[in-house]
Amino acid sequence: MTQAAVSEDVWSIKRVLTWAADDLRRRGNDSARLDVELLLGHVIGLDRIGLIMQSERPLAAAELSRFRELFKRRRAGEPVAYLLGAREFYGLSLRVDGRVLVPRPDSERLVEVALLRTRARSMLGQALDMCTGSGCIAIAFARQRPTWNVTASDISEDALAVARDNAHRTGAIRNLRLVGGSLFAPVAGQRFDLVTANPPYIPAGDIESLPVDVRDFEPRLALDGGPDGLDLVREIVKQAPAHLTPGGLLALEIAFDQGPRTADLLRELGYQDVAIAKDLGGRDRVVSGYGPP
């Protein structure tokens, strides 16, 4: 065997990264390099800097085989967060899998609005996060407001199991409880100083044209918002006044093109000081308002 043939078979970190990122890029993935770095780093226990520092290190057969398995799944569209089993949100590492929506950086805006617009409330506030999924919003808020009691709810028992695990792992369980059921049903008769939700808000007809990562892997229950995407938003805006304390805040995440329609819904029902907050990309993302007097 020639020297050239031997070195061909050595898969260094650099060679794997280059080959795999090129492959994903050719398939239209616009975060190809990052995806591959995260997957390879996960397999061999290095962060992105470590991968650069050790770029000539050859991969062991077991590492290559584990990487190949994850890479194939990524190539078929499975989200990186599900492959790693984790996603960062508001500085917390949360467990995620196919039972829950992958928390998005844009949803951190909902936490910021909730914190900012309830600053003047009592130290011992009560908050409700509906449609909690992985628990990301409820947990981030509970950690920032340790003197408040936070209730997190979801219609999916599968999602609640993930949220419960995350609440334990992050220590948020100290001031957070989880309840199951549709919208306000599990908190009948209770009132809150803050109600947040990132409900499903994709128009049903748009779901088929979503990227494959979302359409084929994330739970349909987390996406489908009915014919115009606003079925749950309308229901929450309508029911929330019966569950808000005087001056309590409702804050909802919405799609980039649902801001004015949602803000109008709140105003029509008498919510006060209705505001639309933008995400990092400058698009409408969160609509909030204080409950009708």
Please give the residue ranges that form the binding site for ligand SAM (CB under 6 A). 100-101, 103, 107, 130-134, 136-137, 154-156, 159, 182-183, 198-200, 221-222
Q: Which of residues 37 and 154 has its CB atom nearest to ligand SAM in the complex?
A: 154
* Among 277, 276, 287, 289, CA closest to 249: 289
Residue 205 carries which side chain, given as an amino acid letter? G
Rounded Cα distance, 230 and 213, in Å: 23
* Among 158, 29, 58, 182, CA closest to 99: 158
CB of 150 to ligand SAM, least distance (A): 13
Residues contacting 22, CB < 8 A, separation 6+: 32
DSSP annotation string for 54-93:
TTTPBPPHHHHHHHHHHHHHHHTT--HHHHHTEEEETTEE
Residue 90 carries which side chain, given as an amino acid letter? Y
CB of 176 to ligand SAM, least distance (A): 13
Q: Which two tokens stand for residue 171?
A: 């220590």
Q: Which residue number places its CB atom closest to ligand SAM?
A: 133
Q: Which of residues 18 and 239 has its CB atom nearest to ligand SAM in the complex?
A: 239
Q: Which two tokens stand for residue 227?
A: 């014919």
Q: Which of residues 63 and 224 has its CB atom nearest to ligand SAM in the complex?
A: 224
CB of 130 to ligand SAM, least distance (A): 6
Q: Which of residues 56 and 157 has its CB atom nearest to ligand SAM in the complex?
A: 157
CB of 158 to ligand SAM, least distance (A): 8
Q: Which two tokens stand for residue 121?
A: 């409330």
Q: Which of residues 41 and 103 has its CB atom nearest to ligand SAM in the complex?
A: 103
CB of 103 to ligand SAM, least distance (A): 4
Q: Which of residues 83 and 128 has its CB atom nearest to ligand SAM in the complex?
A: 128
CB of 232 to ligand SAM, least distance (A): 6
Residues contacting 291, CB < 8 A, separation 6+: 240, 241, 244, 245, 246, 247, 248, 249, 250, 271, 272
CB of 210 to ligand SAM, least distance (A): 13
Q: Which of residues 32 and 94 has its CB atom nearest to ligand SAM in the complex?
A: 94
CB of 292 to ligand SAM, least distance (A): 22
Q: Which of residues 22 and 257 has its CB atom nearest to ligand SAM in the complex?
A: 257
DSSP annotation string for 155-207:
S-HHHHHHHHHHHHHHTGGGGEEEEESSTTGGGTT--EEEEEE----B-GGGG
